[in-house]
Structure 1
Amino acid sequence: MDEQLRMAAENGDVDALYIKLAQDPYLLDRIDHIPIVDTPLHVAAIAGKHHFAMEIANLKPSLAWKLNHVGLSPMHLALQHKCTKMVRGLITINSQLIRVKAKGMITPLHYLAQTEDPDLLAELLCACPSSIEDTTIHCETAAHVAIRNCSIRCFKVLLGWLRRVNKEDILNWKDEDGNTALHIAISTNQTEVVKLLVKHANVNVKNFNDLTAMDIFHLQGSLQSTEIGEILHKAKAKKASDLTSNMTLGDYLSKELTLIDKRDKYFGINIQNNPNDIRTVILVVAILIATATYQAGLSPPAGYWQDDYKPPANNGTTNNTHNSSLGDGQRQRRAGQMIMSPADLFYFLAVNGSAFYLSVWTILVIIIGLPFSRAVYTSTWLLLQAYYSSMTGTFPTQGSMALTVGRFLYITFTVISTCAAYMIPWRAFCKHQKLKRRVDTMRGSRVLTHPEN
């Protein structure tokens, strides 16, 4: 590097920088062409001259990505020398600088995870959410690094972030030895961290030595806290010898697609940056059909009887004349029951009910497993119960034997359809989740549902 430029960077002399650039406009370009180099940004970071660093990063943004001869970027040096103003300034220029990997593939997020600066760590996470997925040369996530360095405050920040962005499965990612965050927390005897992890991580994952968290606890013997053992027992953690054999990723991919796999395939749920237009269209159409058929069930074409009527034993002409305007004077009825003739009633309810239950089934298949799907699932179950009560309460109860048999068949159809519409998607989802938990991968079960492009 030019000595005058180095002096200007050490002193933070912005005027001297522009004088030098006026004399040699391509000075920064020549530095940028060198793959590994000490840039003015590196010098400014060590000297704590954040204003000078911001000028350089503005003039030549690519210099902020350069590593020096010891494998550090300007952002790493700024963190080492506690120049937080420069760190925050560089983030405003390009938040992706948080993902630049120094020697050992350590990012600024990894560096902060081993310190006690949870506030700056939180700022970096918010500025670049995808940085949480970066791993070091040892395949360690920021959560691994925080726990290994006993940085509990930073780990709590990371855990809170993972919970908010629905990425708790990163806690199940393995390092080069197959250890998850829980394995490390137990081996380092961190009770508080274990207590937090068992709520969100898989407690029965095995490392590359075929050891689960419970195995590691027992291997520690008297050195291990008894409270950790109690926490693991409550979380239903098991020894490797007590587990069903795990399934490899190859075994999983060799199996037939489950119902949930087929849904994800056809609706594009697994594809990143996909607008999911097909899923949206089908969901909207299914909701419209469910709404229309539900309303039709509550308001049948012929309406409801407004009064009770029971034909007298001697049904004469007078009664027939009096009731001819109601459509069927000889038919016994009760107020609030459907007016339609038995044949029309059976046809209407069978067709309308089938359309309603199929549309509800489609809605449940599409939404299950998505955020807040449990609340929607519960409310849908209550809607099905309300529909069942409405239909059985207004179905004619008195009349011919055919009507009685038809009522029994319809109630049976309604009960079976309600259970099928609710239980088939739920059972398929639970079976799918159980299958995924058996798959042993480096990056947890999320790799099965969110493949990278």
Structure 2
Amino acid sequence: MNSNAIYGFNRMNAAAHAGDVNLLYTVIQDDPYVLERIDLIPFVETPLHIAASMGHLPFATEIMTLKPSFALKLNPQGFSPIHLAMQNDQKQMVYRFVKINKDLVRVRGRDGLTPLHFASQIGEVDLLAHFLLLCPESIEDWTVRCETPLHIAIKNEQFEAFQVLVGWLEKNERSGAEELESRILNEKDEAGNSILHVAALSSEPLVVQELLSLVKTKINLRKKNLENKTALDIASIPEIKSILFSAGSKPSLEVTDAPTRAHWLRSKTTILDKFYTQNLRRTDITGEERNTWLVVATLIATTMFESTLSPPGGFYQISSDDNNLNITSSNSTISTLKNVGKSVLSINDFTSFSVLNMASFFVSFLTILIMIPSRRQGLFLFPGMFFFLMSYIISMSVISPAGVDPKHTQITFFLASLMFGLVITGTGCQLI
């Protein structure tokens, strides 16, 4: 860097120290490329770093408007301007930064700490809540030690910050929020410790108690760290051990390792595995086409189901004249009563009708299974689909005329069992 460049650099820093916007533009008039040359240095203390540290809000806003890239730069110590503003308790500066660019919440500084991590570390709950609402994705960021903001809050005994983080996870209304909550609460750091492990290592039983009351249904009490130990194994004091044991935590010797994806990949590939794999590999169908197929298949399945409730010709019924019939008076009367609620079709006609109806129903049902996107949200559909299938089978059995070949019923239940197997397999595929 030549003497003129150094002179311009020093004048710009002087303007930043003074927070003098007029001097800023005087330097730019004398040297239009001064900010460009500063930006070329990979790790440098820019005028924005200085202004952020000292709380010169108008000057910092002016610099950030002229050179937005300065907000992302790290100084030689590994801190961005927003990190320095937080370190120096310049809250208004922090709010202004994220108002201009909300993605600054995710800027990684030294040790991989983002502003969200730092807010968790120092217990700035107001900033923490603001960051989460402004940039929800920041909850998923890790430090270089694979720590989540929740790990950091507990390790630094910032329990109010931890409550804010968990409260946000529980109140998050975005798509996939439930899966995100479970994943974050059970995330492991570089030592394989979940937040429950970290809490168990502390000497504060109330922290563990509050943690379990906050996330009792979402946290895995039997999760092991890299040393193959559960939270109960590493609990620091007997009182914490008692709390964990009462909550259902077990020592590692009593915990059976859950099947991993490696176990599934090593297992023998079944025909149904191949069927679902081929379906999921399909790339020649768009989302719009998939939705169209789902609508058509659902309409067909619904129509076929309705036809079992009102088959062609209707049902045998008891008329008002039949109320005083003596059911022992004749075989014809008994036969009439046995057919009440049954289809009026002859056995041959009903067999043809039911076979075609069931074929159409089962094909459309199978199409729905295939077209459901492979996501965890699809799991909620499978129980309903199974009960719908069973209702159809029962309805078809109830309206069958007396004397229908038993093989007809056996075939029906065979198809139902096959469909049930596909539902179960589909559920497994969704979980993988």
Question: Which residue does 2:251 correspond to in 1?
Answer: 239
Question: Which residue does 2:101 correspond to in 1?
Answer: 94
Q: What SS class does the counterpart of residue 114 from structure 1 fall into?
A: helix
In structure 2, what is the Cα distance between the partners aligned to 1:346 and 1:95?
66
Question: Which residue does 2:377 correspond to in 1?
Answer: 371
> Of residues 351, 357, 362 in structure 2, which corresponds to 1:352?
357
The residue identity in structure 2 corresponding to 1:230 is S
> Of residues 5, 10, 14 in structure 1, which corresponds to 2:21?
14
The residue identity in structure 1 corresponding to 2:250 is K
Which ranges in structure 2 are unaligned for 5 or more consecutive residues?
Answer: 1-7
Question: Which residue does 1:145 correspond to in 2?
Answer: 152
Gap change, CA 1:424 and 1:133, over 3 Å in 2? same
Gap change, CA 1:19 and 1:154, over 3 Å in 2? same
Alignment of 1:42-57 (within 5 A): 42-57=49-64
The residue identity in structure 1 corresponding to 2:230 is T
Gap change, CA 1:331 and 1:307, over 3 Å in 2? closer
In structure 2, what is the Cα distance between the partners aligned to 1:257 and 1:88?
55
In structure 2, what is the Cα distance between the partners aligned to 1:394 and 1:262?
34
8 Å Cα contact 1:183/1:213 also seen in 2 = yes
Answering whether residue 300 of structure 2 is matched by residue 289 of structure 1, we say yes
> Of residues 242, 263, 266 in structure 2, which corresponds to 1:226?
242
State the Cα distance separating 1:111 from its structure 2 match: 0.7
Q: Deviations over 1:161-202 (max 9, x none)?
A: 444323121222221111111111111142211343442122
Alignment of 1:98-113 (within 5 A): 98-113=105-120
Answering whether residue 212 of structure 2 is matched by residue 194 of structure 1, we say yes
Q: What SS class does the counterpart of residue 210 from structure 1 fall into?
A: coil
State the identity %: 35
Tell me how large the CA RMSD over aligned residues is.
Answer: 3.8
In structure 2, what is the Cα distance between the partners aligned to 1:129 and 1:80?
22
Alignment of 1:363-402 (within 5 A): 363=368, 366=372, 370-371=376-377, 373-374=379-380, 376-397=381-402
Question: Which residue does 2:195 correspond to in 1?
Answer: 181
8 Å Cα contact 1:367/1:373 also seen in 2 = no
8 Å Cα contact 1:333/1:396 also seen in 2 = no
Which ranges in structure 1 are unaligned for 5 or more consecutive residues?
Answer: 316-329, 398-403, 434-448
8 Å Cα contact 1:268/1:279 also seen in 2 = no
State the Cα distance separating 1:37 from its structure 2 match: 0.5
8 Å Cα contact 1:260/1:429 also seen in 2 = no
TM-score in terms of structure 2 length: 0.79
8 Å Cα contact 1:169/1:201 also seen in 2 = no
TM-score in terms of structure 1 length: 0.75
In structure 2, what is the Cα distance between the partners aligned to 1:123 and 1:354?
57
Alignment of 1:322-361 (within 5 A): 334=339, 336-360=341-365
Q: What SS class does the counterpart of residue 224 from structure 2 fall into?
A: coil
Gap change, CA 1:141 and 1:339, over 3 Å in 2? same
Q: What SS class does the counterpart of residue 23 from structure 2 fall into?
A: helix
In structure 2, what is the Cα distance between the partners aligned to 1:151 and 1:30?
41
8 Å Cα contact 2:375/2:430 also seen in 1 = no
Q: What SS class does the counterpart of residue 356 from structure 2 fall into?
A: helix
Answering whether residue 131 of structure 2 is matched by residue 124 of structure 1, we say yes
Q: Which has the higher contact order (CA 8 A, sep 6+)?
A: 1
Answering whether residue 222 of structure 2 is matched by residue 204 of structure 1, we say yes
Gap change, CA 1:256 and 1:239, over 3 Å in 2? same
